[in-house]
């Protein structure tokens, strides 16, 4: 496993349940994944010796976040190691421009966009696309980092100066009705499955809540699932991936592709009979895939740090809800907006799950350690 965060941790827990052994590579000592893996190689992701060592000791290599240096994955492939998904998937999804061009090449809509490498290109971009817009770094962004929402020429120029030096993309800001995502898994034999479509609520660029099933029409469900299948096939992904969409009326627009398990699929640990993590492990190990079945309507709530302390208050009260499953990631410091854990509420109806999820959210508070 390249990467030691919570996604790696949940992948590892599922892999361990299935009897596999896991070695993770991450620079941080006692990483969320390292705590549960058989072993952790403590090294930078671009340390050639450490990456080669991981490859030599593994039957199959995977990754849990898309900002792993492409060269590290390519080096493993050149040594004849099996890496899933392959480096060509990473190459497309690490680059917002390449990704959007790729999506359009699949016949699926995206918002209007333009590459911005200098002030002249920015003028051309907002002249064509208009305001409001979002200026983003082409590479390396996540959880809303490296993004500037801009309403006019002055704000656009200011954003450019803040993000200058790195390639940027200017996107039309879409006034969408809903955001949804499809988590899907594809095997090396081309077999593919998809998880129930999730409706996602973000707070300043960070996922706050996922609602399953998404409150959209059957037509939208069909469209996003079809788009996710085509994109996965054309990319040749082996493993679990996620496509985020904006929905406006009956139109769908791909926002981005994650070549990995995804926060909006965490409900599957508790709400479907197979999780996105198990599906990924099965796919990369050439085991059969089965279609996920939603056991009950569910709502997933992210537990984010607030900077007010590292002690999470309210857990005993939270756990009195009989349909609630709590997942904490083993991180010791609850920095502002850091993903510390999540919980999923399963209920007989979606309305009830929504109410109980909000009750749960209000119970939890970060305080100084006692």
Distance CA 304, CA 365 (A): 10
List the one residue from 14, 26, 99, 171 that touches ligand ADP (CB under 6 A).
171
The span of 86-94, 167-175, 216-224, 334-342 binding ligand ADP (CB under 6 A) equals: 167-175
Among 106, 173, 248, 314, binds ligand ADP (CB under 6 A): 173
In degrees and rounded to multiples of 5, residue 51 shows phi and psi of: -65, -40
Taking residues 175 to 214 in sequence order and writing x for each that binds ligand ADP by CB under 6 A, - otherwise, the string is ----x----------------------x--x---------
Residue 134 binds to ligand ADP (criterion: CB under 6 A): yes
Q: Give the separation between CA 73 and CA 78, rounded to whole angstroms.
A: 9
Binding flag, residue 323, ligand ADP (CB under 6 A):
no
Q: Are strands 23-26 and 39-42 parallel, antiparallel or unpaired?
A: parallel
Could you say which residues in the range 232-251 bind ligand ADP, by CB under 6 A? 244
Q: How far apart (Å, rounded) are the C-alpha atoms in residues 158 and 79? A: 45
> How far apart (Å, rounded) are the C-alpha atoms in residues 229 and 243?
10
Q: Give the nearest distance from C-beta 246 to ligand ADP in angstroms.
A: 6
Lay out the site mask for ligand ADP across 11-50 (x = CB under 6 A, - = otherwise).
----------------------------------------
277: nearest Cα among 8, 4, 1: 8
111 interacts with ligand ADP by CB under 6 A = yes
One DSSP character per residue, 75-129 reads: HHHHTT--BSS-HHHHHHHT-HHHHHHHHHHTT-----EEEESSHHHHHHHHHHH
Is the Cβ of residue 108 or residue 174 nearer to ligand ADP in the bound state?
174
- Residue pair 3/73 in contact (Cβ under 8 Å)? The answer is no
Question: With respect to ligand ADP, which residue has the nearer C-beta, 141 or 213?
Answer: 141
List all residues 6 or more positions away from 118 whose beta carbon is below 8 Å from its beta carbon: none
Judged by beta carbon, residue 2 or residue 134, the one nearer ligand ADP is 134
Query: Which residues have CB under 8 Å from 80's CB, separation 6+?
Result: none
Q: Does 167 bind ligand ADP (CB under 6 A)?
A: no
The one-character DSSP state at 7 is H
| Count of residues touching ligand ADP (by CB under 6 A) | 15
**Distance from C-alpha of 54 to C-alpha of 260, rounded to nearest angstrom:** 19
Give the residue among 78, 80, 98 at the shortest CA–CA distance from 90: 98
Least separation in angstroms between CB 222 and ligand ADP:
22
Rounded Cα distance, 244 and 256, in Å? 5
Asked whether the CA dihedral 66, 180, 247, 131 is positive or negative, the reply is negative
- Which of 136-144, 261-269, 286-294, 306-314 is the region at the interface with ligand ADP (rule: CB under 6 A)? 136-144
Q: 27, 115, 144, 309: which one contacts ligand ADP (CB under 6 A)?
A: 144
Residue 296 CB, shortest distance to ligand ADP, in Å, is: 26
Nearer residue to ligand ADP within complex by CB, 244 or 270: 244
Closest C-alpha to 340, from 330, 350, 349, 348:
330
Among 117, 142, 203, 295, binds ligand ADP (CB under 6 A): 142
Question: Which positions from 253 to 272 touch ligand ADP by CB under 6 A, shown as an x/- string?
Answer: --xx----------------
C-alpha to C-alpha distance for 172 and 361, rounded to whole angstroms: 33
Distance of closest approach, residue 312 Cβ to ligand ADP, in angstroms: 24
Residues in contact with ligand ADP by CB under 6 A are: 111, 134, 141-144, 171, 173-174, 179, 202, 205, 244, 255-256
């Amino acid at each position: 496993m390249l990467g030691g965060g919570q996604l790696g941790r949940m992948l590892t827990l599922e892999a361990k349940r299935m009897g596999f052994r896991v070695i993770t590579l991450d620079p941080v000592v006692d990483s969320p994944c390292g705590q549960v893996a058989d072993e952790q190689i403590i090294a930078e992701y671009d340390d050639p010796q450490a990456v080669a060592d991981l490859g030599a000791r593994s039957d199959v290599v995977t990754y849990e976040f898309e900002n792993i240096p492409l060269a590290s994955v390519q080096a493993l492939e050149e040594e004849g190691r099996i890496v899933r998904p392959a480096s060509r998937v990473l190459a497309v999804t690490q680059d917002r421009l390449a990704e959007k061009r790729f999506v359009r090449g699949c016949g699926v809509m995206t918002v209007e966009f333009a590459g911005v490498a200098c002030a002249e290109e920015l003028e051309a971009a907002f002249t064509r696309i208009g305001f409001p817009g979002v200026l983003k770094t082409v590479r390396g962004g996540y959880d809303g980092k490296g993004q500037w929402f801009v309403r006019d020429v002055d704000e656009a120029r200011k954003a450019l100066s803040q993000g200058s030096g790195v390639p940027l993309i200017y996107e039309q800001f879409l006034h969408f009705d809903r955001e949804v995502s499809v988590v899907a898994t594809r095997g090396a034999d081309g077999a593919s499955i998809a998880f129930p479509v999730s409706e996602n609520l973000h707070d300043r660029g960070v996922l706050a809540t996922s609602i399953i099933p998404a409150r959209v029409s059957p037509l939208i469900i069909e469209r996003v699932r079809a788009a996710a299948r085509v994109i996965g096939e054309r990319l040749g992904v082996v493993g679990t991936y996620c496509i985020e969409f904006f929905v406006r009326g009956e139109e769908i627009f791909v926002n981005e592709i994650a070549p990995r398990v995804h926060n909006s699929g965490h409900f599957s640990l508790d709400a479907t009979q197979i999780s996105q993590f198990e599906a990924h492990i099965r796919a990369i190990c050439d085991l059969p895939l089965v279609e996920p079945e939603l056991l009950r309507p569910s709502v997933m709530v992210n537990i984010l740090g607030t900077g007010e302390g590292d002690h999470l208050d309210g857990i005993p009260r939270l756990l009195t809800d009989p349909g609630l499953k709590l997942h904490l990631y083993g991180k010791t410091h609850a920095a502002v907006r850091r993903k510390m854990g999540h919980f999923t509420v399963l209920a007989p109806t979606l309305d009830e799950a929504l109410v109980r999820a909000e009750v749960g959210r209000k119970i939890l508070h970060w305080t100084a350690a006692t």
